[in-house]
């Protein structure tokens, strides 16, 4: 997560105290149709000052359309967008206090790096000396001091990405929109750049809205993530919320990997819930109350790393939360190994185990019968 | 790879097939003799003769004017058509329009010329304009087929134009008009220049269409040459042809260079 200071005060997480904090960007019931196609459907979203908000979704989820509406390149079919208390509906892109960094970078090929960065400043008719100062400042911010006179085609992909960022920051926008900012970079460079981006965002205090399809990128960058699916916001929350407490089967399946099983509620008490799952071949004991009814069919999702494997049947309370199966596949990933276990019902679940012993000769191997167990708070009960 | 004798010889034969006639024409334009096929020594006297021939000079000046005006009209119309075809992906009759824009490229000149002639005659009958046939009708005729060429050239450039460049300019505070002059125009300028040069060259070359739609006293250069040649090839025609070849080759060369120069940037950026 981006903000990791020693005191995680509420003022760095304004969305936790909506009563006392005014949202900086306010998207209200925005819908966008292209002909008959519903690209964005009734999205409402509040984003606060200095946030680094990620819109995460697959292709066609409407995340880019939403971003383009914020920039002013598309008009909402209905609904309003407010930025800093100002209604933006009628404001054309060239009058918005917003700048955008494009996925293709969109650097002007016939201008040098300096001219690219200065373009927005010249449109504001700033005095020449000030423009030069600002350009120099931005070039040093993105560590491209010696590249000012080059043309975009003489730069590498990473350098172009930084020029695009500098150009988008030049006018000191209140809000910066980034469309897949790291999408065109290779993996190694992407990881380095992620942290640089966060550093720049924190030092300037600009509000960032980042569109990405890469969940790892979203988890690394964001203060909060908005998961989009089929033009709607599926869930909004901090990265840990999204990962640990998904609100729906879609979110649980989209973020990270999850084992999902269907079950039926057999006990519904304020302090615990018992779910019978024939797929899993055992009862699931959940150690907290859930908003459900007896006999209700629902889903239960658990992350591979929240379960453990053993050869001996472990002792579990409540006669639940343990099942057995045969190891079918093992993927050795270095730090962890991923086991695919076939249960008696035919359901396959994935369990990851940390490889804490070097070259462990006693490790669980193919075709072994194993017991899979988990604690009563490890999984998420999902009703939708 | 082993270098055989076949490929070089094939290439040499191919090129000589294409260029031997032109080279011999250029050589004979410097011939002393009045007889076109007999070499009797180097001389530039036919060039001098050429520049004292008022009919030739008049026709050349007319042709240049027509070419410049027709190419300019074609540039504007062809660019507009290309913008419509590239930018407005879906409109009624788009396929028909795009087919019709490029039809003149493959239409035989005789048919284009004849149909235009019929049109002009009919228009004169109904509207009283254009009155008679002359420079104006040739300009209109040339502009029509040059428009198709300009459209094709500009269209190919526009279709790999990244629209986010324009969006980026607007995002940075440039109005749509400003964006057009700062971003769009400089980027498509090479295509515009080469489209214009192409139109200019085509107009300068045209004989068939011009013959149909020209009137008395408005003979273009190719028409004058053609009528002279029918009375027997005289050496001053060789001299004129050499000059035209020089002009056309220069035009095509510049157009090609401009197109090529602008390519690598676009491919990478």
What's the whole-number mean pLDDT along residues A42-64?
92
Domain annotation covers residue A141: no
Same-domain check for residues A273 and A188: no
Query: Measuring CA to CA, which residue among A187, A220, A178, A185 is closest to residue A63?
Result: A178
Judge if A91 and A187 occupy the same domain.
Answer: yes
Contact (CB<8Å) A107/B264: no
DSSP label of A95? G
pLDDT at position A167: 95
The residue from A230, A250, A270 where one domain ends is A250
Q: In this predicted model, what pLDDT tens digit does every residue of A291-334 receive, in sequence order?
A: 888 889 999 999 999 999 999 999 888 889 999 999 999 999 98
Distance from CA of A236 to the nearest CA of B (A): 27
**Tokens describing residue A53:** 């908000």
Average pLDDT, chain B: 87
B266/A123 Cβ within 8 A: no
Output the pTM of the full model. 0.78
Torsional class of A60: left (φ above 0), alpha (ψ -120 to 50), beta (otherwise): left
Say yes or no: A372 and A286 in one domain: yes
**Together in a domain, A218 and A283:** no
pLDDT band per the 50, 70, 90 thresholds, residue A191: confident
Q: Which two tokens stand for residue A168?
A: 């988008």
User: Residue B90's closest chain A neighbor by CA?
Assistant: A35
Which helix (H) or strand (E) segment holds residue A209: the answer is strand A207-212
Q: Report CB contact under 8 Å: A94, B170.
A: yes
Query: Does residue A280 share a domain with residue A191?
Result: no
Contact A120 B172 (CB under 8 A): yes
Burial of B128 (0-12, 13-18, 19+ CB in 10 A): exposed
- Residue A369's domain spans which residues? 257-305+320-382
Alpha carbon separation from B213 to B108, B121, B218 (Å, rounded): 15, 10, 10
Asked whether residue A159 is domain-assigned, the answer is no
Q: Please write the tens of the pLDDT for every residue from B179-226.
A: 999 999 899 988 898 899 889 989 988 999 999 999 888 899 999 888
Which chain B residues touch A92 with a CB distance below 8 Å?
Answer: 170
* Contact between chains at B169 and A102 (C-beta distance less than 8 A): no
Give the CATH number for residue A234: 3.40.50.300
Helix (H) or strand (E) holding A66: helix A63-71
Query: A163 in a domain, yes or no?
Result: no
For residue range B74-89, list pLDDT tens digits in order: 999 999 999 888 888 7
Which value does ipTM take for this structure?
Answer: 0.80
| Residue A91 maps to a domain | yes
B269 vs A107: CB contact, 8 Å cut-off? Answer: yes
All domains of chain B, ordered by start, with CATH? 54-268 (1.10.3720.10)
A7 Cβ contact partners less than 8 Å away, ≥ 6 residues apart? none
pLDDT interval class at B263 (50, 70, 90): low
Give which of B237, B194, B63 is closest to B138, Cα–Cα: B63
Please give the average per-residue pLDDT across B85-97, as a whole number: 83
Beta-sheet strand order (sheet of A369-374):
A307-310, A369-374, A322-332, A336-343, A348-354
Contacts of B182 in chain A (CB under 8 A): 119
Residue A326 inside a domain? The answer is yes
CB contact under 8 Å between B162 and A108, yes or no, is no
Q: What is the mean pLDDT of chain A?
A: 90
Cβ A371 vs Cβ A324: under 8 Å: yes
**Do A277 and A335 reside in the same domain of the chain?**
yes
Q: State whether A87 and A180 are in the same domain.
A: yes
Q: Taking a C-beta distance cutoff of 8 angstroms, is the pair B137, B234 a contact?
A: no
Q: Which of A206, A227, A250 is the last residue of a domain?
A: A250
Buried b (16+ CB within 10 A) or exposed e, B234-248: bbbbbbbbbebeeeb
The predicted-structure confidence for A89-144, as pLDDT tens digits, reads as follows 889 999 999 999 999 999 999 999 999 999 999 999 999 999 999 999 999 988 89
Q: Give yes or no for B178 touching A (CB within 8 A).
A: yes
Contact residues for B61 (Cβ-Cβ < 8 A; gap 6+): none
**A2 falls within a domain:** no
Chain A residue numbers with beta carbons less than 8 Å from the beta carbon of B264 are 153
Q: Per the domain annotation, does A77 fall within a domain?
A: yes
Q: Chain A within 8 Å of B171 (Cβ-Cβ)? A: yes
- Name the residue among A71, A104, A153 with its Cβ closest to that of B171: A71
- Whether A177 and A225 share a structural domain: yes
Into how many domains does chain A fold?
Answer: 2
Same domain, A367 and A232: no
Same domain membership, residue A354 and residue A211: no
Q: Is the pLDDT of residue B176 over 60?
A: yes
Same domain, A334 and A279: yes
Domain presence at residue A312: no
Do A193 and A273 lie in one domain? The reply is no
CB contact under 8 A, A108 and B168: yes
**A10 pLDDT higher than 60:** no
């Amino acid at each position: 997560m981006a903000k990791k200071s020693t005191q995680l005060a509420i003022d760095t997480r304004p969305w936790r105290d909506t009563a006392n904090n005014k949202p900086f960007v306010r998207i209200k019931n925005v819908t966008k149709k292209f002909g008959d196609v519903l690209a964005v459907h009734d999205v409402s979203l509040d984003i606060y000052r200095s946030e680094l908000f990620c819109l995460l979704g697959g292709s066609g989820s409407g995340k880019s359309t939403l971003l383009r509406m914020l920039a002013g390149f598309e008009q909402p079919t209905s609904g309003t967008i407010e930025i800093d208390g100002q209604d933006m509906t009628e404001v054309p892109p060239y009058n918005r206090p917003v700048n955008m960094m494009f996925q293709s970078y969109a650097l002007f090929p016939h201008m040098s790096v300096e001219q690219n960065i200065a373009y927005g400043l010249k449109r504001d008719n700033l005095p020449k000396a000030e423009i030069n100062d600002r350009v120099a400042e931005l070039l040093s911010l993105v560590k491209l001091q010696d590249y000012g006179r080059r043309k975009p085609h003489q730069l590498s992909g990473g350098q172009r990405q930084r020029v695009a960022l500098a150009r988008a920051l030049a006018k000191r926008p209140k809000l910066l929109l980034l469309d897949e900012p790291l999408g065109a970079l290779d993996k190694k460079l992407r990881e380095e750049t992620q942290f640089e981006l966060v550093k720049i965002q924190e030092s300037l205090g600009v509000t960032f809205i980042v569109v990405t399809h890469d969940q790892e990128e979203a988890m690394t960058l964001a203060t909060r993530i908005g998961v989009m699916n089929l033009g709607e916001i599926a869930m909004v929350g901090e990265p840990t919320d999204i990962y640990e407490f998904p609100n729906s089967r879609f979110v649980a399946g989209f973020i990270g990997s999850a084992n999902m099983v269907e079950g039926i509620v057999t006990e519904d008490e304020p302090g615990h819930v018992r779910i019978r799952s024939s797929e899993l071949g055992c009862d699931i004991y959940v150690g907290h109350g859930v908003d459900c009814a007896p006999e209700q069919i629902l889903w239960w999702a658990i992350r591979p790393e929240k379960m453990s494997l053993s050869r001996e049947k472990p002792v579990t309370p409540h006669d639940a939360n343990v099942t057995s199966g045969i190891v079918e596949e093992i993927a050795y990933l270095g730090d962890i190994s991923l086991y695919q276990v076939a249960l008696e019902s035919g359901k396959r679940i994935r369990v990851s185990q940390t490889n804490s012993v070097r070259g462990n000769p006693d490790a669980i191997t193919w075709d072994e019968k194993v017991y899979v167990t988990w604690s009563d708070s490890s999984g998420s009960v999902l009703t939708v | 790879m082993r270098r055989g004798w076949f490929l070089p010889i094939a290439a040499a034969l191919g090129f000589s097939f294409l260029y031997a006639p032109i080279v011999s024409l250029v050589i004979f334009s410097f011939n002393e003799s009045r007889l076109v096929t007999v070499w009797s020594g180097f001389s530039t006297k036919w060039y001098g003769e050429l520049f004292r021939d008022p009919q030739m000079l008049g026709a050349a000046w007319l042709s240049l004017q027509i070419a410049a005006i027709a190419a300019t009209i074609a540039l504007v119309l062809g660019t507009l058509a290309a913008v419509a075809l590239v930018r407005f992906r879906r409109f009624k009759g788009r396929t028909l329009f795009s087919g019709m824009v490029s039809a003149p490229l493959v239409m035989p000149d005789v048919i284009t010329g004849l149909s235009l002639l019929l049109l002009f005659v009919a228009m004169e009958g109904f509207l009283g304009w254009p009155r008679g046939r002359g420079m104006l009708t040739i300009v209109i005729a040339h502009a029509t087929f040059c428009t198709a060429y300009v459209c094709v050239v500009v269209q190919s450039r526009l279709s790999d134009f990244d629209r986010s460049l324009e969006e980026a300019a607007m995002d940075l505070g440039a109005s749509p008009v400003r964006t057009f002059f700062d971003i769009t125009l400089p980027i498509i300028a090479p295509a515009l220049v080469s489209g214009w040069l192409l139109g200019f060259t085509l107009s300068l070359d045209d004989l068939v269409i011009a013959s149909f739609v020209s009137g008395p006293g408005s003979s273009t250069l190719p028409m004058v040459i053609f009528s002279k040649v029918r009375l027997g090839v005289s050496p001053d025609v060789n001299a004129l042809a050499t000059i035209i070849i020089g002009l056309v080759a220069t035009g095509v060369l510049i157009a090609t260079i401009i197109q090529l120069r602008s390519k690598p940037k676009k491919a990478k950026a």
